[in-house]
Amino acid sequence: MEHTTAIHAEHDSHGGTKEIWRTFWILLGLTIVELALGYMMIGVEGHGLRLTIKGAIIILMLAKAFYIVAYFMHLKGEIRNLVMTILVPLGLLIWAIIAFLYEGNAYKSNRNTYDAYKREGSYMQAPGKKAHETTKPEEKRTGTME
Amino acid sequence: METTTVGADTKWWNGGKSPFNVEYGKLMMWYFLMSDTFTFGAFLISYGTIRFSSNGWPDPNEVFKSYPGSGEGTNAPLVFVSIMTFILIVSSVTMVLAVHAGHERKKKQVATYLIWTIIGGLAFLSCQAWEWTHLHHEGAWWGMNPFPNSDGTPSSTNFTNFFFTITGFHGFHVLSGVVINIVMLIMTLSGTFERKGHYLMIEKAGLYWHFVDLVWVFVFTCFYLL
């Protein structure tokens, strides 16, 4: 429960909530832009355009993550060793994301090439079911949910 | 990344001080958050992999388009989730302000901001509970997916399985965060931190709460936007 003597690095000076609120407005702005992009994307059919908008959303998401970690979690004010302890594994996580998405896509290509059943399943239309009509949940439930 | 004013010629590993210049408990909280990052990272990566391996996937703007009080057939995509995101961001701000007040040893201010953070957390949980209930009433659950793919083909239960599992884990973290914050509030009000001479525990609880907000940033983007 004691705290080991740590050389106190400079942090928010007394009354220094300015940076906190500044970060809030940045986060709010980024979120609004993200949502606007998401809304704009509704009804857009073009594959390339959709991908571009999604790319922009991802970049905004990473910017938000940066601001939360750097300012709210105060990582920006910590010493380099701690910063690296956090950032290096996360960098490796980026590698994992790319590798797995690539794998998922490769799996899809392979199945579509070699598995006629799966390929044709992507052409058949769902028998015009409306959300509230089919699969009555009351029939399938084994316990009370309400 | 800027380093602190403490010089690089400081011998960090010679003993007598924390080599990361933070208190032990705070460093351990960072390590725990890293492990939790890998957990959520694994969940979201597996979601991405399955989605990339699927020919079709439901359109989130067709699935998530109501809010409490909206009638049948409402088409308001992104509205409710925006509110939820806003609530969580604001609660993160109040948490930072609580930590900041702790640095200045202002007990009442710490308590006030903690209360706001707790209210924000409970509001978020209520919203998520409504979202789950609403979807369930439409026939969605683990193993049940009433929504067709965006291209009209029949969908698999992967969509709902992932949605409920990942938002469930996240919601559980929000709940535990709220509980931790309530404990912090009680400790603040009973003067525990005044006696200790520092509010470091609030900082650690703050790290956890920001992590919860951070995970939501990724979860909401992956499920509702992308």
Residues 6+ apart with CB under 8 A from B131: B64, B80, B84, B167
Task: Give the closest residue to B144 by CA, choosing from B165, B160, B125.
Answer: B160
Phi and psi dihedrals of B158, rounded to 5? -55, -40
Q: From CA B154, how far away is CA B176, in angstroms rounded?
A: 37
Q: What percent of chain B has pLDDT over 70?
A: 96
Amino acid type, B26:
K
| Residue A92 forms contact with B (CB below 8 Å) | no
Q: Which residues of A touch B139 (CB under 8 A)?
A: 131-132, 134-137
- Given a cut of 80, whether residue A27 has pLDDT beyond it is yes
Which residues numbered 154-183 in B keep a CB inside 8 Å of some CB on A? 154-155
Query: What pLDDT sits at residue A135?
Result: 44
Question: pTM for this structure?
Answer: 0.86
A84, B29 contact by CB (below 8 A): no
Q: Is residue B139 part of a domain?
A: yes
Q: Give tens-digit pLDDT for B159-177.
A: 999 999 999 999 999 999 9
**Torsion angle in degrees (nearest 10) through CA of B46, B49, B54, B57:** 60
Q: Is A117 exposed, middle or buried (0-12, 13-18, 19+ CB in 10 A)?
A: exposed
Q: From CA B186, how far away is CA B192, in angstroms rounded?
A: 9
Mean pLDDT of chain B: 93
Q: From CA B126, how far away is CA B211, in angstroms rounded?
A: 19
Q: From CA A7, how far away is CA A60, in angstroms rounded?
A: 35
Query: H/E/C letters for each residue in A63-130?
Result: HHHHHHHHHHCCHHHCCHHHHHHHHHHHHHHHHHHHHHHHHHHHHHHHHHHHCHHHHHHCCCCCCCCC
Please state the rounded mean pLDDT for residues A20-33: 95
Please state the rounded mean pLDDT for residues A122-128: 70
Q: Is residue B162 part of a domain?
A: yes
Q: Would you call B53 helix, strand, or coil by DSSP? A: coil
Amino acid type, B93:
V
- Given a cut of 70, whether residue A129 has pLDDT beyond it is no
Query: What pLDDT sits at residue B6?
Result: 58
Q: Is residue B147 part of a domain?
A: yes
A65, B221 contact by CB (below 8 A): no
- Given a cut of 60, whether residue A131 has pLDDT beyond it is no
B128, B26 contact by CB (below 8 A): no
Query: What pLDDT sits at residue A30?
Result: 95
Please state the rounded mean pLDDT for residues A75-104: 93
The 10 Å Cβ neighbour count of residue A137 is 15
- Given a cut of 70, whether residue A78 has pLDDT beyond it is yes
Nearest-neighbour CA in chain A from B65: distance (Å): 12
Whether B147 sits inside 8 A of A131 (CB atoms) is yes
Residues 6+ apart with CB under 8 A from B5: A9, A10
Query: What pLDDT sits at residue A144?
Result: 44
Between A31 and B1, residue with greater pLDDT = A31
Please state the rounded mean pLDDT for residues A5-27: 71
Q: Is residue B9 part of a domain?
A: no
Q: From CA A86, how far away is CA A81, in angstroms rounded?
A: 9
Please state the rounded mean pLDDT for residues A12-30: 84
B177, B209 contact by CB (below 8 A): yes
Q: Which of A4, A11, A97 sits opposite B103 (nearest CB)?
A: A11
- Given a cut of 70, whether residue A4 has pLDDT beyond it is no
Q: From CA B139, how far away is CA B147, in angstroms rounded?
A: 9
Q: Give tens-digit pLDDT for B25-82.
A: 999 999 999 999 999 999 999 999 999 999 999 999 999 999 999 888 889 999 999 9
Q: Give tens-digit pLDDT for B115-136.
A: 999 999 999 999 999 999 999 9
Q: Is residue B5 part of a domain?
A: no
Q: Residue B134 is part of which domain span?
A: 24-225
What CATH number did the domain enclosing B205 receive? 1.20.120.80
DSSP 8-state secondary structure symbol assigned to residue A119: H
Split at pLDDT 50, 70, 90, the class of B8 is low
Record the tokens describing residue A43, joined without a space. Answer: 């009804």
Query: What pLDDT sits at residue A18?
Result: 93
| Residue A115 forms contact with B (CB below 8 Å) | no
Q: Would you call B144 helix, strand, or coil by DSSP? A: strand
Q: From CA B28, how far away is CA B34, in angstroms rounded?
A: 10
| Structural domains of chain B, count | 1
Q: Is residue B13 part of a domain?
A: no
Q: Is residue B3 part of a domain?
A: no
| Residue A47 forms contact with B (CB below 8 Å) | no
By residue count, chain B amounts to 226
Split at pLDDT 50, 70, 90, the class of B7 is low
DSSP 8-state secondary structure symbol assigned to residue A43: T
Task: Give the closest residue to B222 by CA, choosing from A54, A50, A47.
Answer: A54
Between A16 and B86, residue with greater pLDDT = B86
